[in-house]
Chains A and B, each alone.
Chain A
Amino acid sequence: MSDRMKLPEPIAAVVEESVRGVHRRVPGVTGCIAATVDGRLLEHVVDNTADPRRMAAMIGSMVALGETIGKEVRIGRSQFVVVHALDGILLMQRVPSRKELLVVATLARTTTNLGVVLHETRRAAGEIGEALDRWLQSSAA
C-alpha cells in the first residue's frame, strides 16, 4: 500500500519527460503532476510548497467528480476540470489511452493564457497515453 507508484521503466521515462516538458516550455506554468486515476503520485514538478502527494489525491478526486457531474447533468463526458483561483490556475484531465489509468494536471499563474495551459496539458497527456498504450501492447504480446 503506497501513495506513490513505481511505473515500468519505458513509461516512467516518458512521464518524467512530459511533466518536465510542460514546466520547461511555458514560463507561467508553476507545476505539473502525473498521478494514477485513484490518486497516487507518479511524477511531479511543483514550484510552490503544495504537497504533491495530496495534490495527486485531489486531482484524482476532481477528475472523477468532473466526469460524474458531466454524466449527471447530461452534458457528456468531462474533458478537463479547471480550478481558476485568485492566485493561480489548476487544470486537470485524464490521460487518454486504451486503459484509462492516469491523470495529469498543470498548475499555472493567472497571467498564463488558459488555452496554452490546456494545449500543453493535452500534449503531455497524449504523450503519456501513447507510451502507456505501447507498453500495454508489448506486455500483451
Chain B
Amino acid sequence: MNEPKLVFAGTMGAGKTTAISAISEIPPISTDVANTDLDAHAKLATTVALDYGEVTFGKNSKLRLYGTPGQDRFDFIWSLLARDALGVILLVDNSRPAPLTDLNQYLDAFGDAIEQGRLVIGVGRMEEFPLPNLEAYLEHLDARQLLVPVIPVDVRRREDVLLLIESLFRQIECLLEVTTGGEPEDDWSELVRTAREGSE
C-alpha cells in the first residue's frame, strides 16, 4: 500500500470533483467533457473517465484521489477504480428526485468496500432538501443490513471532506485487528517516523 488510493463516487453533480479539489495538493487532472444530458443535471461539463488528485504523506508516499464518473453507464470504471482502494467516499445529492434509489445503485456496485468497512456516505444539499432525513437513510441501510456512516456534508468545505475521510479511517481502524505492539519496525513505521520528524 505504498500509494493508497481513495475513491470518490456518487451521482452526477454530487461534488466528487469539488471534493478532490478541496484536498488535492496538485491541480486535479480531469476528463471533463460537455454534458449533453441536461435533463439529468443542468451542469455544463461532466467527468467521463476519472478525476485525479494527490496528497503527499510521509516523505515520498502519495495518497491518490480518484473521482468516478457519476452516470451509471460508466459503472465499468467504478469497479476498476475501487479495486484495492483504501476506501470509497460515496457522495449522495439530496436534491435529486430519489436519493435513496440513487444510493442503492452505488451500494450494489461497492458491495466489497462496504463489506470491508471501507465506505462512508456523505449527503449533500441536506439543508435545502431535508428529506430524506438521516433517520430515513439509517432505516434504508438497516433494511439492507448495512452499517455505514452517513454524514451531511458540503464538500465545498475542506473540513467537511476531511470529516468524511476521518470517518472512513475510524471505521477502517475499527475493523483492523489490534496489534499488541512490540513488532519489528517495518517500512511503514519508518516512513511515518520520518514524516513526523520532517514536519516538526
Q: Chain A residues in contact with chain B, CB under 8 A?
A: 1-3, 5, 36-40, 53-54, 56-58, 60-62, 64-65, 67-68, 72, 99-101
Cross-chain contact B31 with A68 (CB below 8 angstroms)? yes
Contact of B48 among A2, A53, A64, A72 (CB under 8 A): A64
Cross-chain contact A37 with B33 (CB below 8 angstroms)? yes
In the bound assembly, the distance between CA atoms of A39 and B32 in angstroms comes to 12
Binds A, one of B56-64, B71-79, B172-180: B71-79
Q: Chain B residues in contact with chain A, CB under 8 A?
A: 29-37, 39-40, 46, 48-50, 69, 71, 73-74, 76-77
Question: For B50, what are the chain A residues with a Cβ–Cβ distance below 8 Å?
Answer: 65
User: How many contacts A-B (CB < 8 Å)?
Assistant: 70
Cross-chain contact B73 with A53 (CB below 8 angstroms)? yes
Contact of B49 among A2, A3, A64 (CB under 8 A): A64
Q: Which residue of B lies closest to A64 (CB)?
A: B31
In the bound assembly, the distance between CA atoms of A130 and B148 in angstroms comes to 51
Contacts A39-B74, A68-B30, A72-B29 hold; do A60 and B37 have CB atoms under 8 A apart?
A: no
Contacts A1-B39, A1-B40, A38-B46 hold; do A64 and B33 have CB atoms under 8 A apart?
A: yes
Q: Interface on chain B toward A: helix, strand, loop, or mixed SS?
A: loop
Cross-chain contact B31 with A99 (CB below 8 angstroms)? no
In the bound assembly, the distance between CA atoms of A73 and B35 in angstroms comes to 26
Cross-chain contact A68 with B49 (CB below 8 angstroms)? yes
Q: Which residue of A lies closest to B33 (CB)?
A: A37
Cross-chain contact A2 with B29 (CB below 8 angstroms)? no
Most chain B CB within a 10 A radius of its CB, from A1, A38, A39, A40:
A38
Contact of B37 among A38, A56, A99 (CB under 8 A): A38
Contact of A57 among B30, B31, B34, B76 (CB under 8 A): B76
From residue B22, how far is it (CB to closest CB) to chain A in Å? 21
Contacts A68-B31, A72-B29 hold; do A40 and B36 have CB atoms under 8 A apart?
A: yes
Cross-chain contact B29 with A57 (CB below 8 angstroms)? no
Question: For B30, what are the chain A residues with a Cβ–Cβ distance below 8 Å?
Answer: 68
Question: For A64, what are the chain B residues with a Cβ–Cβ distance below 8 Å?
Answer: 31-33, 48-49
In the bound assembly, the distance between CA atoms of A12 and B47 in angstroms comes to 25
